Amino acid sequence: MNAWLTLLETPADGGQLAGLVGFKLASCIALSCAIFAIGAWGVLARRNILLMLISIELMLNAVMLAFVSFARMRAGVAAEYTAAAAKALAEGAPAEAIAGLQAKSAIWTTSGASGQIFGLFIIAVAAAEAAVGLAIVISYYRHRATVDTRDMTTMKF
């Protein structure tokens, strides 16, 4: 759990680069968790199927927020390494040191990009889910004239 908290409060590299990231990762993740919790509570407590769908959307978006937050953090770290590499080149540092900094920059860029791609995926999946879910709900409403889950219990024994 400690490792998890550390990640929330400070970026990677033990906080060495924390000041350079430029935004507060911890607040973004806290917001994500709050939205997720609200969504989960909605799914459990709401009896209106439409509201449950909306809650699911909330949870999806909370997860997406977490993804892009971490991606942003990684992009910041990558920018710092790129700047450090440029500075080292200007100062005439050994080639190995410059190459190491460039490699780290590349790694952080790539891993940061995957978070953003996941964000896009989630938008697509959420849209599809909303379309199918709403279609089912509308169809159901036409047959039964209700959107209350308490009336949708025909599958019990």
Partner 1 sequence: MLDQLRDLFPGWLARPDHYHTWYEQMLCLIPLLPLLGFLINAFARKTISRGASGAVATLAAAMAFGVALLCYMACAIDSQVATVGKYAGMVQEHLQSRPFQPMHAFYGTWLDVGGFRANFGLYMDELSGLMTLVVTGVGTLIHLYSTGYMGHDKSYARYFAYLNLFLFAMLLLVLGDNLILTFVGWEGVGLCSYLLIGFWYTDGDKAAAGMKAFLFNRVGDLGFLLGIFTLIAVFGTVDYVAPPEAAQASSAVMRVPAPPAPKGMLDYAANIKRIDPNGNLTLGQVDASQKLDLSGTVGKAVFPSWSFKLAIGLACLLLFVGAMGKSAQLPLYAWLPDAMAGPTPVSALIHAATMVTAGVYMVARLHALFLFSPHVMMFVAFVGTATAIFAALIGLTQTDIKKVLAYSTVSQLGYMFLAAGAGAFSLAIFHVVTHAFFKALLFLGAGSVIHGMSDEQDMRKMGGLRKHMPVTFVTMLIGSLALAGFPFTAGWFSKDTILAVVLAKSHDDPSFGSWWMALYGLGLIAAFCTAFYTFRLVGMTFFGACRADEKTKAHIHESPAVMTIPLITLAAFALLAGWMWHAFFSAPHFLGMPTPLDNFNMNPPEIGVEATEAQEHWHHVHLVNLGWTSLAALGGIALALVVYVAKGFVPKGEGGNVFTTLSRNKFYLEAFYDKIVSNAFILFAELMHVADVLLIDTLLVRGVAVATRWTGAALRSLQSGLVNFYAGGVLVGALVILYLLLLS
Q: Could you say which of 46, 63, 109, 137 contacts partner 1 (CB under 8 A)?
A: 46
Contact 49, 148 (CB under 8 A): yes
Residue number with CB closer to partner 1 (24 or 140): 140
Q: Could you say which of 52, 68, 78, 122 contacts partner 1 (CB under 8 A)?
A: 52
- Residues ≥6 apart with Cβ < 8 Å to 154: none
Question: CA 68, CA 60: separation in Å to the nearest integer?
Answer: 13
SS3 content of the chain, % helix, strand, coil (to 5): 85, 0, 15
Q: Could you say which of 95, 124, 145, 156 contacts partner 1 (CB under 8 A)?
A: 156
Rounded to a whole number of angstroms, the minimum distance from the CB of residue 133 to partner 1 is: 12
Q: Which residues bind partner 1 (CB under 8 A)?
A: 1, 4, 40, 43-47, 49, 52, 149-150, 152-157
